[in-house]
Structure 1
Amino acid sequence: MAFGDVHADFETLWSALRAASCVDGAFLPTPPVQAGLFQVVIIGDLVHPKNEREYARLTGLPRFDMYDPEHLLLAARNQAAQLDLLRAYQAAAPHAVHILLGNHDDAVLNGSYTLGTSGGLVHLEFDPERGGVLLPEHLRNWIAGFPRELRVGAVQFSHVSPLPAHTHYDDLFYADRSTKHWFRDTPEYVEMAGLDFGVYGHTQIDDGILLDQDHRFAMIDALHAREYLELMLGDSGDGTLQAVRAVPF
């Protein structure tokens, strides 16, 4: 099972995991996950709500002010509490729960980039120089261990695309228009990388998961549309893809 960018909407993530029979009432892996029969992949970007309305929902405030230190503290604390739950969930089945490093997660760790949205929202809650607070060290260490891609045979999971350059969130990454448009402009990248199938996030898909069977990839930043991706792999251990579908929940 693969789940799209979280962006601090943990309520929806837990709902998706429950619908997929991957988490129990105590926020722990179900027996199929613990046994490794179900594999869970979260595609990255755990932090930073996508808009002011989502920040208000996260903090319980009628209106979120991105420049109010008290509002930022609430946003940071509530995200950290949910990250602790997710960390415990993964720790209970590390062989079966995989979380990839997204660019927003990386930005919280390295502090080199202040990310925001086209609407003017700026993510400051984990920036102590601009009114926020540092993410707790144990969570920073946990996130720092996230891989930048996962491969199961010739099936790839990565936050942005099949391109190795898109796994490094540096100046070139943020100046590169293709990080958001490659799947429409150059979908042949998946075949060129020698992959049987690719699963990616980073770019919000408004109508739900984009499943491109011709070019053999899925764009799954679609938790807001209440969909996750289900992949059936062969039993031979070589990652042979047998079936793939978008699942509403």
Structure 2
Amino acid sequence: MLRKFIAIGDVHGDYDLLWAALRAASCVDAAGLPTPPVQQGLYQVVLIGDLVHPKTLADYSRLTGLAEFNPRDEDHLFAAARVQVRELERVRMFQEAAPRSVHCVLGNHDDGVLHHRYLLQTAGGLTHNEFDPERGGVRLPDHLRHWFSGFVRELRVGRVQFAHVGPLPAFAYYDDLFYTDKAPKHWWHDTPEYVMMADLAYGVYGHTQMPDGIYLDEAARFAMIDALGNREYLELMTDSSQHDPVISVRAVPF
């Protein structure tokens, strides 16, 4: 059976780009619902994780409409949470309208708003506290928490894997080791053979931002797709009747 997978990298609160990518891939209609090919399962949509937490102060300002977003101002945190909740509702409705064709992978930032075990921040020191009541934010609404808790840690389709970080099972659990080990950020460069060692035909991953756009490693058979900001998504064609199910892989600009 031929199927097309549309994989979209880390969203990080840039919902305008998410919807633009889905429209470009013919996956969403004018009402924000899945198109017939998605409803029928011919197109499979995979959101690779981290739906929340804009990456920069400028991104927070753009999201909230505030001229200068202050991550220590509780009113600003409330504004960031409110807009994200509104947009997450739209994504949830889209996913729940075609639950067998639209898949959400649990990213470490998604996990972070559920458990608050760690202070999530960028290398530049930007903290993400809008959903942490103990740090001036608000609690993610219960129905969205329930939705997040149903996100998969990986999606396996035969020997093709979609995961937030990488091919190792340990990379899907966001604990002390995950946040202190360099491997989750560097494995794709240092040990790309992990994909073949896991007996995968292909792997699709996010988490590590690709500043030059989607990275395709043809030899090691994987893609790093945290490149939504570069206006790219991944298109992967598979044929489940073949031993090597992957027919084609390409980065698609939109």
TM-score range, shorter chain: over 0.9
Q: 1:20 aligned to 2:5?
A: no
Report deviation, 1:206: 0.5
SS of 2:111 mapped into structure 1: helix
Distance in 2, matches of 1:53 and 1:238, equals: 46
CA offsets 1:161-216 (integer angstroms, 9 cap, x no match): 00111000000100110111000000000000000100000000001000000000
Correspondence for 1:225 among 227, 230, 241: 230
Partner of 1:49: 54
Contact 2:154-2:161 within 8 A present in 1 as well: yes
Distance in 2, matches of 1:63 and 1:239, equals: 51
Percent identical pairs in the alignment equals 64
CA offsets 1:79-126 (integer angstroms, 9 cap, x no match): 000000000001110010000000000010011111001111000100
Map 1:40-79; keep pairs closer than 5 Å: 40-79=45-84
Report deviation, 1:130: 1.2
Q: 1:142 aligned to 2:147?
A: yes
Contact 1:155-1:239 within 8 A present in 2 as well: no
Question: Which has the higher relative contact order, 1 or 2, with Cα contacts under 8 A spaced 6 or more apart?
Answer: 2
Partner of 1:165: 170
Partner of 2:87: 82
Correspondence for 2:214 among 209, 217, 223: 209
Change (3 A) 1:86 1:205: same
Report deviation, 1:237: 8.3
Q: 1:122 aligned to 2:127?
A: yes
Matched to 2:157, the amino acid is V
SS of 1:39 mapped into structure 2: strand
Distance in 2, matches of 1:168 and 1:130, equals: 23
TM-score by length of 2: 0.96
For structure 2, the residue ranges without an aligned partner over 5 or more in a row are 1-5
Contact 2:158-2:240 within 8 A present in 1 as well: no
Question: 4+ residue runs of structure 1 moved beyond 4 angstroms?
Answer: none
Q: 1:97 aligned to 2:110?
A: no
Matched to 1:144, the amino acid is S
Distance in 1, matches of 2:250 and 2:55, equals: 25
Matched to 2:221, the amino acid is R
Contact 1:44-1:159 within 8 A present in 2 as well: yes
**What RMSD, in angstroms, separates the aligned Cα atoms of the two structures?**
1.0
Partner of 2:3: none
Partner of 1:244: 249
Report deviation, 1:236: 2.7
TM-score by length of 1: 0.98
For structure 1, the residue ranges without an aligned partner over 5 or more in a row are none
Correspondence for 1:197 among 180, 195, 202: 202
SS of 2:146 mapped into structure 1: helix
Aligned length, in residue pairs: 249
Contact 1:153-1:239 within 8 A present in 2 as well: no
